[in-house]
Chain A
Amino acid sequence: MIHSLFLINSSSDIFLEKHWKSVISRSVCDYFFEVQEKAGEAENVPPVIHAGHHYLINIYREKIFFVSVIQSEVPPLFVIEFLHHVAETFQDYFGECSESAIKDNVVIVYELLEEMLDNGFPLATESNILKELIKPPNILRSVVNSITGSCNVGETLPTGQLSTIPWRRAGVKYTNNEAYFDVVEEIDAILDKTGSVVFAEIQGVIDACVNLTGMPDLTLSFMNPRLLDDVSFHPCVRFKRWESERVLSFIPPDGNFRLLSYHVSAQNLVAIPIYVKQNISFFETGSSGRLDITVGPKQTMGKTVEAVFVTINMPKVVLSANLTATQGNYTYNPVTKTLVWDIGKLSQQKLPNLKGSLTLQCGAPKPEESPSLNIDLKIQQLAISGLKVNRLDMYGEKYKPFKGVKYVSKAGKFQVRT
């Protein structure tokens, strides 16, 4: 399956290589560099590249290319999913998945890769199991290790690997037993020039942080489970119970995990929390343009809209922007041609406005299209779909856990066309 892995940074340096079968020369990456050059931007590099006798399947994350070498037929998603899993594991272990973090912890990275794949086939990928096999680094342990010479490799087979619940380790103990659930919803929307909705849907996830002693068996139920159109579960969730009773019944993994992702279909009406009035125009003569944007709250269910950002990718000919904002501040990056307006909180009384002129390159024809606006926002304590957790029950253990649910709504891919 996966033959080798190369990690390549943005300046085309191969800074880590790992082979699970016989060694493949790093010159195989030349094919990749060729394609990368042709693609221009990193995002445009196709994920699957045919390279002579090999196939290169790559992902791009945190400014690093994870390039895996494949020699024979394998489902490409299998490899892609695995590579993302590797990146997430690094993130989990080192707090960030950056080149420097990987270089600093190269030994742990190697140990992890060794455990995660055997002969190119995934072996142990569940975070709970990996953490028992190889302990994540922290300052205290590295000090202790250097003094006592002890190591950060576990000596026994993680219990989870063998039991029927591979995601949870045995013998978990906490003094404070807590279970927190974050319901996070993202609104994906496309609005057209006039502000009417072309397409809108809600994608939600429930992220959990469960620190409970022993083997708790949890049941989470919703007030309105019918809202959920399509769901995907963490393997711990019992599918049969969901099918029959629409409750989430599960023995949770220890620590942080994503319990559920769901989709509220576009068929239902999606509340759009803000509206945008915009006017971006370029003049035929004089190499200039005008910009006028107003943002206001719309269907917010009585909550405040916070952390509002408006990002605009300007056409290449725009040299600079001379604007005034009635609220927040704006920046224009002339290299990437992005205009970012950081608004902050939206208030009902005074609508924030950004207005002014744009300077274009001299002599260039006026841009054909006016650029679209990408909106970012956040609403605390509200799930925009109206989803509500009804109750959380625990079976199998005697103590009383502390339970908490938090709701947040955000803008996902929220775009206003102009």
Chain B
Amino acid sequence: MSANSLSYNEQGGAESAVEVGLESTPTSSGAGAGAGADLREMLESTKESLKLEAMKRIVGLIARGKNASELFPAVVKNVASKNIELKKLVYVYLVRYAEEQQDLALLSISTFQRALKDPNQLIRASALRVLSSIRVPIIVPIMMLAIKEAATDLSPYVRKTAAHAIQKLYSLDADQKEQLIEVIEKLLKDKSTLVAGSVVMAFEEVCPDRIDLIHKNYRKLCNLLVDVEEWGQVVIISMLTRYARTQFISPWKEDGIFDENSEQAFYESDEEKLGTPQSKPYIMDPDHRLLLRNTKPLLQSRNTAVVMSVAQLYWHLAPKQEVGVITKSLVRLLRSHREVQYIVLQNIATMSIQQKGIFEPFMKSFYVRSTDPTHIKTLKLEILTNLANEANISTILREFQTYVKSQDKAFAAATIQAIGRCATNITDVTDTCLNGLVLLLSNRDETVVAESVVVIKKLLQTQPTQHSEIIKHMAKLFDNITVPMARASILWLIGEYCERVPKIAPDVLRKMAKTFTVEEDIVKLQTVNLAAKLYLTNSKQTKLLTQYILNLGKYDQSYDIRDRTRFIRQLIVPNEKSGALSKYARRILLASKPAPMLESTFKDRDRFQLGTLSHTINSKATGYLELSDWPTAAPDSSVRNVEVMEPVKEWVPSMGKTKPLKSDDKFYSDSGEEEGAGEEGTGSSSEDSSSSSSSSSSNEGKLYGLNSKHSEETDSSQSDKSSGHSDKKKADKKKRLQLKKKAKKAAPKERYQMHRPPTHHPLTQELWNLRTFTPKMAYTHTGKKKNRKQMVALFLCVQVSSPVFVPMSSHELLHRMTGKGLAAQYHFPRQPCIYGNKMVSVQLTLTNSSDHTLEDISIGEKTSSGQNIHRFSSIERLEPGASVTVSMGIDFNDSTQAANFQLCTKEDQFSVSIQPVVGELFLPVTMTEQDFRKEQGKLQGMNETSATITMAPENTSNQALSKKMVSVANMGVVPTGEDSLYRFAAKSVSSGDLVLVSVDLTDSSSGRLTINTEKTVIGSMLLRDLKTALAQP
């Protein structure tokens, strides 16, 4: 057996076999290499349970970091197993070892390719996951193709997986960047909340500099944000932060007071602004506001990472007076786990330097508990120090007094430093602090004393005139202090102010001369220093002493000290050689020194974006993206304008109210429509054709046309390929099958040699062929059939699914002229209504375009038509210019009769009506083709309406047709096996009756549209709508 393993894994084989053996459980008898064979035997048995057991043990080995690579051939055979758990474990194994055994890993590829076509989205997704996770460079083209295909999959889950696969492929082969960006661009347009987070992640990894891809999706991302899953939110928010910094102008005051570290100046400037109106008032871009508004609710998220990312967004983007909203939430996070506290406190520390005002009310939340870990304690201390001001300093100092007594001596030392900082920052308390610190000098603990000395030294430097008493006191203490840093500090102090303590200084020097040889280097240096200074000021008393010390220093072990001694001697002792410098010795050594600034260690942290890894480690991490400065002039904001999808308005003007597009446009950009188009042409040549056309022209059809052409192209190229190779493929397949049969009988060794291709290239070629061949195989393969049966069983119950497509169009409900300033628009979000399952959910956007505040907006009690309406809760206030979106539910009873009701404000009542388009009265359902046929069979005869249709040439492709259909009516797409037959299914909202639509294309431009439903009225109306829609380009 081991010989066998050596044949393909020469280095590792024997050794790993032993390892596997050691790890075997007692039940699998046999020592050494026997167990590996044991597992192999189990894997090759016909019993599923044995195989599963073997795989479980192997996964156990992997988990413990043991090498199980020699079992690769035995494991890889099970990749096509029907047992899902077994299959998943094989996937785990494959992903772990494929990189090491690339040739053998290729054997599994065809299985994944087949699975990529599976009708079950879970299987498709997991196949793509594994395919993209095995890091084998040869399959890059296959991966690329699979990703492209999955990116257009109907299932959002598969599309999400595709977004993940993009990053994997990029890390495997960076040359694919351009193609991957195209896929990213496509996926960015995706409206599913499931996809958004993952694709933005891919964007950040692959092409973070391609900000231009975001423009068109910016508003959509902002609006989706609340519904995206938590992890995606974090990624999107951090990307949008970067985006906003490049696209909007600074909301902060032009005066740039902010680096001044005083929020008072800030408030002053605010007042100033109120008093004297500035020449150019700042107006926030509505998109900038949109981002701030939509992220704010996320401060209430249970996920701390989300809260932190919103906090950093506000910190970096919001006007300074609005940043305050984040503090409560950040303080709340301090209740979370220790690790979370650590990160949050770090960020608060940075913030509190720049804007202490916002955290001051929460000062007590940063009080230290004796049970906190040391690094948390130090951070809290840091923040408390930053927050200290004249008003609260006494409270803080009282608190610090408790900390100084802490058992944790490192923390006590940090507290002393903090006291020192408070003393320098707030001049009122300098004396109090100093006295307190002097008291600490008599503390029993050495670290405390030493730290006090160091801090006192710094403090005295700031006001040296009046503190000779303290210096004397310290000189007295000198004998008892052993910590070198503290001794050095005292020596320095005495030297610096030796003229103030003329009697003590020489005495200290005398003592030092005695102990010089046993002192630490740092103390020796200061002794030399002191000696030099005394020699200059009081040479009568200290000349001999100085010379003695300089002699000792001359023969010291450390060259630093020898150097210093030599330098000092030349400088101060006059001799024949001494140059011009010694004249200035006094001025050199006794120059007045600037007082040290006691600064926070977080002072310069704000160069990093908050909440990032780089901020935490205070150095630039790999892949850190700088936050750019605000642009001085605002870039064109019209690049973010998205052409509103307007299917209803354009195709069925008779149905529903025609909705003026203008109002929407006006909100976003009044002026620059033309400008925008011009920019587009020059600025974004790299954008793909469909997006650039969408902005410059309002022609829907053109957009679809381009899409359809694109897909046609790929279609035809595929079919070409398949027809070209089909003969060869069949032959290939036969050969493979034969090989397999043979292989089963043959000894393992032989088998692998046979399968092993001479070079890589032919094998991949073979795989390519297999790939295109798969559809047929799916039906001939017996195992597949079984699987399909299972599928049918699973899906028999008709499930309401999420809408395939949600039109963005909204319709006017109340014009601002008739509404005396109140304007209302409505829109069908196509979501199941939460208020009642027979209701259609409708979203109203209410805008106050008057100049006064509107109060108590609600729906009046009486409705003239008999529909059941769920009212939105009344809106208390709507400020001028503000708008609010509310949702309501209306039971239309499956008819297109308008729902009439009254929209009331405090003063007025306006009668309004919502007339639904027939397509909005449905909820999409998913079902299999078989179910569809079965249900269709039940709805024959008078329940069936049909018509011959002529199609605009643009609509004939698969995608374009589906898109057109689902935009007209809220239907689900039913997967179909036939080429020219399309099926859609929905159920009516109120009665729950099925509505089945099928389109049978007879040739490229005409076909037959059939609708089966019990609701014949709806059926015929829908037929008419669809017919007109398909005829239009």
Contact = CB atoms under 8 A, between A and B. Distances in A.
Nearest to A146: B49
Contacts of B231: 78, 82, 121-122, 125
Interface stretch (A149-157, A172-180, A289-297, A376-384): A149-157
Contacts of B832: 164
Contact of B802 (A109, A162, A368): A162
Chain B interface mostly: helix
Contacts of A203: 335
Given A75-B612, A121-B198, A151-B52, A107 B59 contact: yes
Contacts of A26: 65
A61 B340 CA distance: 13
A230 B329 CA distance: 7
B680 interface: no
Chain A interface mostly: mixed
Contacts of A241: 873
Nearest to A233: B300
A77 interface: yes
A383 B524 CA distance: 64
B339 A59 contact: yes
B684 interface: no
B740 interface: no
A234 B407 CA distance: 40
A356 B953 CA distance: 97
A73 B612 contact: yes
Contacts of A14: 65
A74 B234 CA distance: 10
B664 interface: no
B168 interface: yes
B157 A157 contact: yes
A298 interface: no
| Central interface residue in B201, B329, B339, B801, by most chain A CB within 10 Å | B339
Contacts of A327: none
B953 to A, nearest CB: 34
Contacts of B461: none
B194 interface: yes
B301 interface: yes
Interface string A176-208: 000000000000101010000011010100000
B682 interface: no
B443 interface: yes
B613 A73 contact: yes
Nearest to A46: B375
A232 B343 contact: no
Contacts, number: 264
Contacts of A118: 129, 161, 164
Interface string B294-314: 000100111111011100000
B237 to A, nearest CB: 10
B321 interface: no
B723 interface: no
Nearest to A19: B96
A55 interface: yes
A78 B234 contact: yes
Contacts of B821: none
Interface string A46-76: 1110100101001111000000001111111
Interface string B843-887: 000000000000000000000000000000101100000000000
Contacts of A77: 304-305, 308-309, 340, 343-344, 611
Contact of A70 (B99, B340, B613): B613
Interface string B136-167: 00000000000000000001110011001101
Interface string A242-260: 0111000001000000100
Contacts of B611: 75-77
A119 interface: yes
B73 to A, nearest CB: 20
A166 interface: yes
A76 B613 contact: yes
Contacts of A159: 799
Contacts of A15: 64
Contacts of A359: none
Contacts of B135: 22
B340 A149 contact: no
Contact of A119 (B49, B91, B164, B331): B164
Interface stretch (B80-88, B272-280, B929-937, B1022-1030): B80-88
B444 interface: yes
Contact of B230 (A75, A152, A235, A365): A235
B201 A121 contact: yes
B1016 interface: no
A109 B343 contact: no
B96 A23 contact: yes
A96 interface: no
Interface stretch (B487-495, B619-627, B713-721): B619-627
A178 B820 CA distance: 50
A18 B63 contact: yes
Contacts of A164: 193, 227, 802, 831-832
Contacts of A123: 160, 164
A80 B339 contact: yes
B303 A81 contact: yes
B interface residue count range (under 10 / 10 to 19 / 20 to 34 / 35 or more): 35 or more
Nearest to B362: A266
Contacts of B402: 192, 417
B234 A55 contact: no
A271 interface: no
A90 B443 CA distance: 49
A79 to B, nearest CB: 8
A44 B376 CA distance: 9
A244 B874 CA distance: 9
Given A73-B613, A156-B122, A43 B338 contact: yes
B370 A22 contact: no
A368 B164 contact: no
Contact of B374 (A44, A239, A243): A44
Nearest to A203: B335
A76 B618 CA distance: 13
| Central interface residue in B369, B399, B623, by most chain A CB within 10 Å | B369
B660 to A, nearest CB: 27
Contacts of B167: 119, 121
Contacts of A367: 407
Interface string B333-346: 00101111011100
Contact of B340 (A46, A80, A126, A266): A80
Contact of A48 (B65, B168, B616, B834): B616
Contact of A153 (B88, B621, B831): B88
Contacts of B307: 232
B85 A151 contact: yes
A239 B343 contact: no
A217 B837 CA distance: 11
Contact of B84 (A109, A121, A122, A153): A153
Given A81-B304, A106-B60, A48 B229 contact: no
A125 B234 CA distance: 15
| Central interface residue in A22, A118, A123, by most chain B CB within 10 Å | A118
Interface in A209-265: 217, 229-235, 239, 241, 243-245, 251, 258, 261, 263
17 contacts: A47-B339, A48-B617, A55-B617, A75-B234, A77-B344, A80-B337, A80-B340, A84-B340, A107-B60, A118-B129, A123-B164, A153-B85, A188-B335, A233-B300, A234-B302, A261-B302, A261-B335
Given A43-B373, A72-B621, A151-B86, 20 more contacts: A23-B99, A41-B373, A47-B338, A47-B343, A73-B624, A75-B612, A118-B161, A121-B167, A123-B164, A149-B47, A157-B122, A161-B194, A162-B155, A164-B832, A198-B399, A232-B329, A233-B300, A244-B873, A313-B371, A368-B405
The 6 closest A-B pairs by CB, nearest first: A72-B623, A151-B85, A47-B339, A157-B122, A122-B231, A149-B49
